[in-house]
Structure 1
Amino acid sequence: MKIVYHHRTASRDGQSTHIEEMIRGLRANGHVVVESAPAVDAVASTSGGSAGWVGILKTWLPKPAYELAEVAYSFVAYRRMARAIRELKPDGIYERYNLFLLAGVWAKKRFRLPLILEVNAPMAVERAQYGGLSMPGLAHRLERYVWRQADRILPVTQVLADYMVSIGVDPSRIQVIPNGINPAHFEKLPTAQQAKAELGLEGRLVVGFTGFVREWDRLDRIMKWIATQPAAHNVHLLVIGDGPARAEIEACAADLGVSDRLSFTGAVPRERVPALSMAFDIALQTALVPYASPLCLFEYLALGKAIVAPDQPNHHEILAHGENAYLYRPDDELGIEKALDALTADPRMREDVSAKAREVITNKGLTWSQHARRVAKLFEDLGVQTRPVAASQS
């Protein structure tokens, strides 16, 4: 089948990874996918911020003006999508949801095409809580409107699906599809010992974190915990990534006299992350919003690492405490420290949890190619006829 994949993402981060891997998965399954999206900034950040002119607008425009600009952008996005639809004559539209983005619904109605909407967060809730909204009423109304107009809606967790139902989305149109991994990225990896040697961490017990480090990740807590560990444990924190909290974490380590037990790789190409992460003995999934499906969690599972994560419902959808992860109570002031104590002191527990982590990917079918097949089946259920497509079109 032929699909227009529509989104508003112009950055190089976890969002772009999801987009690229889903497109790759659909194409690998024989479908033609045309991307309708803004151009990716050549220096688009992996910093978690907004790339290029979007970041400039956010900085200089008052919030009400910026939000109205987002609504107005829907007209630009619609014209781009309409051109793609006229050229490709697709069987359906797949859209990555974003707040104030109405173009997908307009195209669905104008061209009478099925619309499948991928939703990674309740953006009206998230931005009101973290980024600030000047027009929360409008944001919530438009979010409900778009969600209710989609033919199928794909939240990344059941927690998010339950929220959708609570605001009036028909549960029969909802199917949970979490994040996943590309198995090709986890082939021919070094051993843990080889990865440690490359980083100069031979003989150390490595606690690892992957991603963009922010204040709420509280890696300063990890450094304080490391400072209490006996020298015999030789515990080291390895952060694969960078972020605004880096200077604070490094200052904390220096104050505690444990700077030699902390390493940052800085930003690295995404294809290098799995090989570097093989150095981990324990992988940290820090506190996060209750509806999220974090990419790094699936990568930790694919690597077969002993995962420490908060005990919360979205993690229960993937993890089982004591079986394939060690879950700690986020309301316990020493929760993550107790979890690290347990895994550090018991190598056998680490090995058992690690051994079962990789099985989760296989048992739950958590690869992008498998997710792409689920999406194609949903289009078929909506009446799209699967037909051969010329290889040149793909």
Structure 2
Amino acid sequence: MHIEEMIDAMRALGHEVKVVAPLVNQGAGRMGGGVDWVHRLKAMLPKAVYELMELAYSVVAYRNLMAAAHDFKPDVIYERYNLFLLAGLMAKRSLGVPLLLEVNAPLVFERSQHSGGLALTSLARWAEGRAWQGADAVLPVTVVLAGYVRAYGVPPERIHVIPNGINRAHFANAPSTAKAKAALGLQGRVVLGFTGFVRDWHGVDRIVDWMGSPGAPKNTHLLVVGDGPVRAELEAQARHLGLAERVTFTGVIHRDRVPAQVAAFDIALQPAVTPYASPLKLMEYLVLGKAVIAPATPNLQEVLCDGVNALLFDETQAGSLEDALSRLCSDGALRERLAQGATDTIDRLELTWLGNARKVLRLMGVSA
């Protein structure tokens, strides 16, 4: 979504964008479309072999970039960072044009922590350092993530934090909360909402447990806009607690349907967060004016302020999330105040894709 929205925003501002990407993803029609064979290959090969193949793919990507540049003659290369991918850096040097590198995660750290880790850690660190140090501008999505970039020795003047944003037009026709609830048959409920691909670390199970506790209002309803690997576990948990009728999963839905679903939320949930991320779901919550509950982590506090546009809890303190839920469910005036603060945040911090595109263009010395 990030890269697609940036492309659309740059074009809307009058600039030409040539997209160079793996052919399996072009026109696939769904996120990650056409790459199931890659996941199967990764599972079959020794990790070290697969990682060497990732690095070798830079040569393929470089040739594709240079072929595209032959006719397009770009003024700048804008790349979404991926581990072991050095094609943009190679093309920048051959073409003599600036490279702007969008960074959404410190992938050496992230991959070391998940999926069994990395086999060639030293090579991965070298590749990440080369990519970040060689870019004319590195664009991390949070100040926290910028710290990872600085640790590689990238000069501060080449690091520019640009959080994720929102496309206002995509949410302009969202229904009112009352109409959205009516369409879903949730009238009279306090709707707790979560969007995205639900994993165990998201902490949605804590929401279900709280709903089953004696102190939770009986008119709460959990609406999960999305799907995920823990859906069956959460549904089983809800049945065990006698909450089966109070928990709804939409399953995977088209992006165009998301605003009408999120519009039904009274309280928007961010129970946990990766410490360096700029969550896309948070921007959706804010633009639709939802009362947000989130942990008081440094990356989220770059956007959220307790009592102004969110109710923040201390994730290190047992019961803090549950106390925040009880407080917000019982205080309609607080929900309204936070909802207004959420809406104001988008304009105050210019958290739109058009705003992000303007910032990027200014870095290039180009008028937006």
Instruction: Compute the TM-score of the two structures, normalised by the length of structure 2.
Output: 0.96
2:3 is the counterpart of 1:19: yes
Identify which of 33, 47, 70 aligns with 1:63: 47
2:337 is the counterpart of 1:373: no
8 Å contact 1:41–1:52 — kept in the other structure? no
| Cα distance in structure 1, aligned partners of 2:312 and 2:53 | 42
Q: Give the deviation of 1:51 after TM superposition.
A: 3.0
Unaligned runs of 5+ in 2: none
What SS does the corresponding residue of 1:118 show, helix, strand or coil?
Answer: strand
Spell out, residue by residue over 1:195-228, the C-alpha distance to the aligned partner (whole angstroms, 9 max, x if none).
Answer: 1111111110000000001111121111110012
Q: Give the deviation of 1:119 after TM superposition.
A: 0.4
- What's 2:322 paired with? 337
Spell out, residue by residue over 1:270-313, the C-alpha distance to the aligned partner (whole angstroms, 9 max, x if none).
Answer: 11101110000000012121110010001100000000011110
8 Å contact 2:42–2:50 — kept in the other structure? yes
8 Å contact 1:44–1:51 — kept in the other structure? no
Please show how residues 1-394 of structure 1 align to structure 2 within 5 Å.
17-39=1-23, 40=25, 46=31, 51-131=35-115, 132-229=117-214, 233-380=218-365
The AA in structure 1 aligned to 2:76 is G
Closer/same/farther in 2, CA of residues 32 and 229 from structure 1, 3 Å limit? farther
Q: Give the deviation of 1:52 after TM superposition.
A: 2.7
The AA in structure 2 aligned to 1:285 is Q
| Misfit runs of 4+, over 4 Å | 41-46, 229-233
The AA in structure 1 aligned to 2:106 is P
Closer/same/farther in 2, CA of residues 58 and 41 from structure 1, 3 Å limit? farther
Closer/same/farther in 2, CA of residues 97 and 257 from structure 1, 3 Å limit? same
Q: Give the deviation of 1:19 after TM superposition.
A: 0.9
What SS does the corresponding residue of 2:186 show, helix, strand or coil?
Answer: coil
8 Å contact 1:71–1:101 — kept in the other structure? yes
Alignment coverage as a number of residue pairs: 366
What SS does the corresponding residue of 2:161 show, helix, strand or coil?
Answer: coil
| Cα distance in structure 1, aligned partners of 2:34 and 2:316 | 32
Unaligned runs of 5+ in 1: 1-16, 388-394
8 Å contact 2:28–2:34 — kept in the other structure? no
Spell out, residue by residue over 1:170-214, the C-alpha distance to the aligned partner (whole angstroms, 9 max, x if none).
Answer: 111010000000010111211111111111111100000000011
Q: Give the deviation of 1:165 after TM superposition.
A: 1.3
| Cα distance in structure 2, aligned partners of 1:231 and 1:282 | 14
Q: Give the deviation of 1:233 after TM superposition.
A: 4.3
Instruction: Compute the TM-score of the two structures, normalised by the length of structure 1.
Output: 0.90
| Cα distance in structure 1, aligned partners of 2:94 and 2:367 | 22
Spell out, residue by residue over 1:132-160, the C-alpha distance to the aligned partner (whole angstroms, 9 max, x if none).
Answer: 11111111111011100000110000001
8 Å contact 1:229–1:235 — kept in the other structure? no
8 Å contact 1:205–1:233 — kept in the other structure? no
Moved more, 94-103 or 331-340: 331-340
8 Å contact 1:361–1:367 — kept in the other structure? yes
The AA in structure 1 aligned to 2:150 is V
RMSD over aligned CA atoms reads: 1.7
8 Å contact 1:105–1:146 — kept in the other structure? yes
8 Å contact 2:291–2:310 — kept in the other structure? yes
What SS does the corresponding residue of 2:37 show, helix, strand or coil?
Answer: helix
8 Å contact 1:49–1:55 — kept in the other structure? no
What SS does the corresponding residue of 1:36 show, helix, strand or coil?
Answer: coil
What SS does the corresponding residue of 1:338 show, helix, strand or coil?
Answer: helix
8 Å contact 2:210–2:216 — kept in the other structure? no
Identity of aligned residues (%): 52
**Structure with the larger RCO, 1 or 2 (CA within 8 Å, 6+ apart):** 1
